[in-house]
Each structure stands twice: as C-alpha cells, then as structure tokens.
Amino acid sequence: MALETTLREPVQLTDPLEVEPPAPAPGCDVCGALLKQWRQATEKDGHAYDLSHATDLAVEIKRHPHAWQKEKRS
C-alpha cells in the first residue's frame, strides 16, 4: 500500500445505509481480498460489522492501482 499524505480528488462519502459493493478489478487478488473484507464489514450480523471500515475498504478498492487503469487515467 502506497503512503499518501494528500488526496488527489475529493472523497465521496456514501450514505452508510445505502452501501453498494465496490467494483473490484477483475483478476486482481488484492481487490478480491478487499471486497471479501468489505462484505464482512457490511454484514449486519457479522462479527466484523463496521460500516466506517467498509467505506475505507471501498475507497481502497477504487484506488487500487492497476497497470491497465494507469494507462487510461494518466
């Protein structure tokens, strides 16, 4: 995970009551693992239920850099 002290773009805060699953990059193990944690954090009866953490995970999935995305964004 890269250390970043500044945000490149405004943080989009989502309504915790309407949390949507983030879209992980296909075939990316890191995104897959993050999504698994996100699902656990959004499971209301789960031991890891934590919507604030889920939001963080969703942001992390969105920001996870991939070679093919870099080409498009830069």
- Tell me the DSSP string of 5-72: SS-SS---PPPGGG-----PPTT-HHHHHHHHHHHHHH-TTSTT--HHHHHHHHHHHHH---HHHHHH
Least Å from the CB of residue 31 to Zn ion = 3
Nearer to Zn ion, 19 or 28 (CB): 28
Nearer to Zn ion, 39 or 64 (CB): 64
List residues binding Zn ion (CB under 5 A): 25, 28, 30-31, 64
Nearer to Zn ion, 31 or 57 (CB): 31
